[in-house]
Amino acid sequence: MVLVLALGDLHIPHRASDLPPKFKSMLVPGKIQHIICTGNLSIKEVHDYLKTVCPDLHIARGEYDEETRYPETKTLTIGQFKLGVCHGHQVIPWGDLDSLAMLQRQLDVDILVTGHTHQFTAYKHEAGVVINPGSATGSYSSITYDVNPSFVLMDIDGLRVVVYVYELIDGEVKVDKIDFKKTTGSNT
Amino acid sequence: MVKKGVPDWLNSSLWSSPQPPSSNDVVESHEPPASADVKSAVVESIVEPPVPVPPPSVTRIVEPPSSSVHSSTASVKGEIRDPLSSHNGNNNYGNTNFNNYNSEEENGISNNSSTAPIPAVGANTGAVVAPAASSLAEDISSQAQLLQELSRKIINMGELRRIASQGIPDGAGIRSTVWKLLLGYLPPDRTLWSSELAKKRSQYNHFKEELLMYPSDITRKLEKSSLENSEPYGESKGFLSRSEITHGEHPLSLGKSSVWNMFFQDTEIIEQIDRDVKRTHPDMHFFSGDSTVAKSNQEALKNILIVFAKLNPGIRYVQGMNEILAPLFYVFKNDPSEENAVSAEADTFFCFVELLSGFRDNFVQQLDNSVVGIRATITRLSQLLKEHDEELWRHLEITTKVNPQFYAFRWITLLLTQEFNFADSLHIWDTLLSDPDGPQETLLRVCCAMLVIVRRRLLAGDFTSNLKLLQHYPSTNISHLLYVASKLRTHVAG
């Protein structure tokens, strides 16, 4: 039972000053085993804060990140699942599911986490699942101003993943979940 | 014997060489006396010690009876040279008054038998210079005695305790069953065993299921009752459907009653248990190392401790419980019966609870200074030492100011598991567990005996050397130690 936090596009300090307090109160150290961040933090202080929540942090570079040494894409294996992360501004058209599916096949991962659109999506296709955790601070995107703060927590348990979607709607935290299973293990 | 300074019996030649039968001390109580003095049997109407043993000089080695508890006593009989003349009488043993039954040590000097008393061999607990053959003979005899006792329909607990207190031989794997009986896990009536075991084992599995479930499984169970099972990947392509969460249960929930929240709160304790389990007996392959056996054993220990901590929120888990658990699990897991070995975890859990019930107070910090707490127990040990060996007591506590808390704390709370090697501590536990009043009394006596045995070195030492000696107790002959401890019982000053 591994808890993986996926978030990104915070744009601190340029477009938002901080995470919403209700989110911050929930992100307590010790509960989460991994963090996957889609990028655009943008400054080191945010990186340090995320490190306090969980020391195992994986970041892909977004176009506004001041730290230039994050990789463009990153893959990691957690349990039976291979996860990939990429900011998403490189994939054109932005947010297009077929193009993201192409990226997923290139990275050969079961779950691809991307951002940039600041909208939560969870999409399934033959090669796997694409998850966009949205923007954790609710900052405006290149596409729209109407953004709800959101992030995603994945509970990986064997071949099964439960995805909890946390959204801040009208000042209240709403949590939904999505359940999906993988058909075979990825040992070979 | 008026005691001034060193008690006479301490200095007697009793210890340096095995003693021929001397005085006719009759031990009245049915407590295990284990004294080498007692050679002559004062026999009640029927019974004799069931198994006399051929003298050590006999080259024919008696085959140990088959380790199966179900071996008929007939086979035991067939292999021992001296016929168990009163064997049939033993079957009616059940309720006879054995209070006056003069128990002797296993080298059973049976008055009925024609074998001469074996002069060369002291009691199991007293033979400092015992020849190796005789200890083999003792083992075989006590083993045979135990097997015979165990094969009865209704086991006589007092008799079992008596035999067990002299040590359970390692060979036949009966220790597991005997300990279960001594701890009250198995009832004395053998016919009830299978039903009791099945009941307890299923109860433990039930506990495990309830308490060791991950929150994700718990929530899934809750959901199954409310939603119908919808296949998540019915469509091969498309947006994944979002569903409501049940009862507001999500991993970051901060609610007091949230399953997840409670899970994370328990995580701390689980981590501590995990750390301690990994450190248990690192020198033993059974417990430590990378083998799958060790890992599964560690897993079992962890489960037991976690279930115990969750069922006992008052005491939770305290460091040291793993040390008390380890010998129990080792013995039960090495039970020659396959069925028992597989369910060792469940059996160990209940026996652990039973054993700890007497010692709980040692682990509760608030009780430290109370009448039942660890400090009071240590004070009692100190009193005991003062009674038996005033000179040593004075030297230790007053002259060299070695506060008994410095050494006795670990001795008492961990039931001496840390002071001796593993095999020896099993032997000591045989004696501890067979005390019908609970292990604590015997424990204090054994601790006192430990002090008395090294008295020369203690008397000659100062604070540093004494403390060092007591905190790294030198290995001794366990039989000798237990013998001294039992002598302390019969030689109370006053």
With both helix axes pointing from N to C terminus, report the angle between B344-363 and B175-182 in degrees, rounded to the nearest 10.
50
pLDDT above 70 (res B335): yes
> Helix (H, G, I), strand (E, B), or coil: what is residue B189?
strand
Whether the per-residue pLDDT at B94 is higher than 60: the answer is no
Q: Tell me if A180 and B239 make a contact (CB, 8 A cut-off).
A: no
Taking alpha carbons only, the member of A176, A169, A136 closest to residue A24 is A136
Answer whether residue A8 shows pLDDT above 80.
Answer: yes
Of A26 and B82, the one with more pLDDT? A26
The phi, psi pair for B207, rounded to 5°, reads: -55, -45
- Among the listed ranges A75-79, B288-292, B326-330, which one has the minimum average pLDDT value? B288-292
For residues B88-117, give the mean pLDDT.
Answer: 37
Q: How far apart are CA A90 and CA B97, in angstroms?
A: 92
Name the residue of chain A whose CA is nearest to B215's CA: A1
For residue B6, the model assigns a pLDDT of 56
What pLDDT is stored for residue B251 in this prediction?
Answer: 83
Chain A residues with CB under 8 Å of a chain B CB are 1, 3, 25-28, 30-31, 121-126, 129, 153, 155, 157, 162-166, 175-181
Q: Do B232 and A179 touch (CB under 8 A)?
A: yes
Query: Does residue B245 belong to the interface with chain A, where contact is any CB pair within 8 Å?
Result: yes
Does the structure show a pLDDT above 90 at B41? no
d(CA A20, CA B476): 67
Chain-centre distance of CA A120, in angstroms?
9
Give the tens place of pLDDT for each residue, B383-423: 888 888 888 888 888 888 888 888 888 888 888 888 888 88
Chain B nearest C-alpha distance from A178 (Å):
5
- Verify whether the Cβ–Cβ distance A27 to B252 is below 8 Å: yes
Q: Which of A31, A157, A178 sits opposite B243 (nearest CB)?
A: A178
CB contact under 8 A, A180 and B232: yes
Between B30 and B480, name the one with better pLDDT.
B480
Express each pLDDT in B233-251 by its tens digit.
445 677 888 887 777 778 8
CB contact under 8 A, B242 and A179: no
> What tens digit of pLDDT does each residue of B250-297 get?
888 887 777 888 888 888 888 899 999 988 888 888 888 888 888 888
Q: Which residue has the tokens 């790294």?
A: B472
Could you give phi then psi for residue B333, rounded to 5 degrees? Answer: -70, -30
More confident site: B393 or B365: B393
Amino acid at B449: A
Q: Give B267's contacts in chain A (Cβ within 8 Å).
A: 30
Buried b (16+ CB within 10 A) or exposed e, B156-179: bbbbbbbbbbbbbbeebbbbbbbb
Whether the CB of B191 is below 8 Å from some CB of chain A: the reply is: no
Lowest mean pLDDT among A111-115, B38-42, B187-191, B483-487: B38-42
pTM for this structure?
A: 0.64
pLDDT at residue B313 is higher than 50: yes
SS3 string, chain A, reads: CEEEEEECCCCECCCCCCCCHHHHHHCCCCCCCEEEECCCCECHHHHHHHHHHCCCEEECCCCCCCCCCCCCEEEEEECCEEEEEECCCCCCCCCCHHHHHHHHHHHCCCEEEECCCCCEEEEEECCEEEEEECCCCCCCCCCCCCCCCEEEEEEEECCEEEEEEEEEECCEEEEEEEEEECCCCCCC
Which among B135, B116, B145 is positioned nearest to B21, based on CA atoms? B116
Nearest to A123 among B240, B254, B267 (CB): B240
Chain A contact present for B265, CB below 8 A:
no
- Least confident segment among B65-69, B186-190, B269-273: B65-69
| DSSP-derived 3-state class of residue B238 | strand
The separation between CA A2 and the C-alpha centre of its own chain, rounded to angstroms, equals: 16
Provide the ipTM: 0.78
Given a cut of 50, whether residue B176 has pLDDT beyond it is yes
What is the rounded average pLDDT for all residues in chain B?
A: 70
For chain A, what percent of residues have pLDDT higher than 90? 71
Average pLDDT over residues B129-155: 66
When CB atoms are compared, the residue of B214, B239, B245 closest to A175 is B245
User: Is B241 part of the contact surface with chain A (CB cutoff 8 Å)?
Assistant: yes
| Distance from the A122 Cα atom to the nearest Cα atom in chain B, whole angstroms | 6
With vertex at residue B40, the alpha carbon angle to CA B35 and CA B43, rounded to the nearest 5 degrees, is: 110
Mean pLDDT lowest for which of A154-168, B39-53, B447-461? B39-53
Determine which of A115-124, B186-195, B360-369 has the lowest per-residue pLDDT on average. Answer: B360-369
The per-residue pLDDT for B225 is: 61
Mean pLDDT on B14-29: 39
